[in-house]
Amino acid sequence: MSTTEPTPDERGDEVRARFSEALARKTDRVRESQESSGFQPKIHGTHGPAVRKRAFRRKNG
């Protein structure tokens, strides 16, 4: 049996590392293009609390 071939866990680690590097390059590229173009998102404050709690009423009849 040859010991030069990596185990499945090692292969998975290599693949995971390559994907994370590619994702980092992609996010850096997007961030640079947004900063250089003066990017402003269209929606502001989307994660804030609701202005008013919604009231539910029962139907009559």
Q: Total structural domains in the chain?
A: 1
pLDDT greater at residue 50 or residue 23: 23
What's the CA gap between 30 and 24, in Å, rounded?
Answer: 10
Structural domain boundaries, residue 11:
7-35
Interacting residues of 14 by C-beta distance below 8 A, sequence separation 6+: 6
Mean predicted confidence (pLDDT) in 25-37: 82
The answer to whether residues 12 and 4 touch, using CB atoms and an 8 Å cutoff, is no
Q: Note whether residue 18 is domain-resident.
A: yes
pTM exceeding 0.85: no
Q: What does the mean pLDDT of the chain come to?
A: 78
How far is it, in rounded angstroms, from Cα 48 to Cα 54? 15
Contact indicator for 6, 14 with CB cutoff of 8 Å: yes
Residue 28 lies in a domain: yes
Q: Is residue 1 part of a domain?
A: no
In a domain, 50, yes or no: no
- Residue 13 in domain: yes
